[in-house]
Structure 1
Amino acid sequence: MLTPFLYLNAVAILNYQPPTSPYLDILYQDEDIVVLNKPSGLLSVPGRKIEHFDSLMSRVQTVWPKSCVVHRLDMMTSGVMVMSMHLDATRHLNKQFAERTTGKYYIAVVAGHMPEDNGHIDYPLIVDWPNRPKQKVCYETGKASMTYYEVLERSEINGQAVTRVKLTPITGRSHQLRVHLQQLGFPIIGDRLYAPENIVKLVDRLHLHAEQLEIFHPSNGEMLTFYKKSDF
């Protein structure tokens, strides 16, 4: 059952009931990092209210108190996340994400059949303050944003044409993938912020998943690749 949401100038999460099975889906762990599969419906970090404390970060810190989040996924986005296990690893990973030396791609299912097999989306983005946390395209004040897409499959869900697509964000703006696809005319199915109601109701969750993440190990510099196949 999906958690209902209401967005009024700031995020208000109603009836927050994050999934608990498994409580932690650990893909890899050593003395420096822990890599997890975050489920859809779980916050990456605690919210402001006590009832929104449950998050991937709070769960991991229960086991490893010195662990730290170095990047985030939207609550309804699932997929691979890495956390540091100590301060030196935090600094190393923060630098990688800031300098965009990490590699990652997402899988999404969007409404409609995308006509091109691949391409770039480069709408500039900025927060939509009256409607935050929504983002919007603005050619005057928006920050440069780019996403590369590759069509994997065109099919249908309940009579609705859909496209399964691989997304590689070149930049890392908030809600970048969701807004870029919506502005291109192909909103992600299940997206309660950016898709029309009929597209939201096609599925029981946002069909956006961080399937692969590449990082340099904080201690030995080895390139590591972590993968978790999407469940849609």
Structure 2
Amino acid sequence: MSHTPDYYIAPPCHEPLQILRETAGFWVVSKPSGLLSVPGRAPENQDSVITRLQALSGEAWAVHRLDMDTSGLLVVARNKASLSALSRQFQQRSVSKLYQALVFGLPEAEEGTIELPLICDWPNRPRQKVDWQQGKPSLTHWRVLARDPGRHCSLLALTPVTGRSHQLRVHLAEIGHPILGCRFYGHGDSIAAAERLMLHAGQLAFDDPEQGGRVETHCDSGFGDRLAS
């Protein structure tokens, strides 16, 4: 029988939060791996992207989230009007997101699509699982950027069409290429291959809620430096 604690105590994150773009309506920030996107229920889990930004300006609203272990780009609203406009773009799937991941193994194809319905694995939450009867439709496109046969790993570009919890982690594990460092869905070799989850939100594009025009931000993962040249 599995046991789920009342809450998880996140280890302290000493890495800085980088502000890459700032307007009167929003920030685009680069979140380090290990930092919560929003504060948790436990008093020990108050350090987060939102609380750090609130300490700077007094008002910060989460538009979307990244898992604690995932690094990369987040857009954070600075007022309720921007929150509403940006949230609508996510709901309408007009926001463009591109991730990079180091995965276990060497995919035979150069690109592909994963379409597997996902649902919360409730007794083992926050884990998710594939469920063909009750799962929500979930779609991911992937493309190989580089392979490292010596380390038996590959660098992939990932485009999540839907935004389910743990979608990229589960989808890649299901096709036999778990993300390195993923303790939820990996195996012994893939977990031991990295000191953190090797998943990074590297590109984010959306419409400026106040000025109009497309806002595009890039933030390199640095994962390619780990591969053999």
TM-score interval for Structure 1 and Structure 2 normalised by the shorter chain:
over 0.9
User: Unaligned stretches of 5+ in structure 2?
Assistant: 224-229
User: Unaligned stretches of 5+ in structure 1?
Assistant: 1-6
2:131 is the counterpart of 1:138? yes
- Structure 2 CA distance for aligned equivalents of residues 107 and 203 of structure 1: 15
2:11 is the counterpart of 1:16? yes
1:218 matched to which residue of 2? 209
Q: 2:177 aligns with which of 186, 204, 213?
A: 186
1:203 matched to which residue of 2? 194
Native 8 Å contact 1:152 1:166 kept in 2: yes
1:78 matched to which residue of 2? 71
Q: Which runs of 4+ in 1 moved over 2 A?
A: 7-15
- Structure 2 CA distance for aligned equivalents of residues 154 and 73 of structure 1: 26
- Structure 2 CA distance for aligned equivalents of residues 153 and 15 of structure 1: 33
Please report how far the alpha carbon of residue 8 of structure 1 lies from its aligned counterpart in structure 2 after TM superposition: 4.2
Please report how far the alpha carbon of residue 13 of structure 1 lies from its aligned counterpart in structure 2 after TM superposition: 3.3
Instruction: Give the 3-state SS of the residue equivalent to 2:152 in structure 1.
Output: strand
The superposition leaves residues 156-184 of structure 1 with CA deviations (integer Å, 9 ceiling, x where unpaired) of 4xx54101000000111000000000001
- Structure 1 CA distance for aligned equivalents of residues 145 and 210 of structure 2: 36
2:168 matched to which residue of 1? 177
Native 8 Å contact 2:19 2:30 kept in 1: yes
1:167 matched to which residue of 2? 158
* 1:229 partner letter: D
Please report how far the alpha carbon of residue 30 of structure 1 lies from its aligned counterpart in structure 2 after TM superposition: 1.0
- Structure 1 CA distance for aligned equivalents of residues 118 and 57 of structure 2: 36
In structure 2, do the counterparts of structure 1 residues 8 and 77 end up closer, same or farther at CA, with 3 Å as the change threshold? farther
- Structure 1 CA distance for aligned equivalents of residues 101 and 3 of structure 2: 26
Native 8 Å contact 2:148 2:154 kept in 1: yes
Native 8 Å contact 1:145 1:176 kept in 2: yes
Please give the residue correspondences for 1:87-98 in structure 2 after superposition, counting only pairs within 5 Å. Answer: 87-98=80-91
Native 8 Å contact 1:10 1:133 kept in 2: no
In structure 2, do the counterparts of structure 1 residues 94 and 137 end up closer, same or farther at CA, with 3 Å as the change threshold? same
2:142 is the counterpart of 1:149? yes
1:53 matched to which residue of 2? 46
Please report how far the alpha carbon of residue 198 of structure 1 lies from its aligned counterpart in structure 2 after TM superposition: 2.2
Q: TM-score, normalised by structure 2?
A: 0.93
Native 8 Å contact 1:45 1:57 kept in 2: yes
In structure 2, do the counterparts of structure 1 residues 58 and 103 end up closer, same or farther at CA, with 3 Å as the change threshold? same
- Structure 2 CA distance for aligned equivalents of residues 65 and 224 of structure 1: 24
The superposition leaves residues 85-136 of structure 1 with CA deviations (integer Å, 9 ceiling, x where unpaired) of 1110000001001111000100001000011100100010000001000000
Instruction: Give the 3-state SS of the residue equivalent to 1:13 in structure 2.
Output: coil
Instruction: Give the 3-state SS of the residue equivalent to 2:212 in structure 1.
Output: coil
- Structure 1 CA distance for aligned equivalents of residues 76 and 217 of structure 2: 13
In structure 2, do the counterparts of structure 1 residues 11 and 36 end up closer, same or farther at CA, with 3 Å as the change threshold? farther
Q: TM-score, normalised by structure 1?
A: 0.92
- Structure 2 CA distance for aligned equivalents of residues 67 and 53 of structure 1: 14
1:128 matched to which residue of 2? 121
Aligned length: 222
In structure 2, do the counterparts of structure 1 residues 108 and 10 end up closer, same or farther at CA, with 3 Å as the change threshold? farther
Instruction: Give the 3-state SS of the residue equivalent to 2:30 in structure 1.
Output: strand
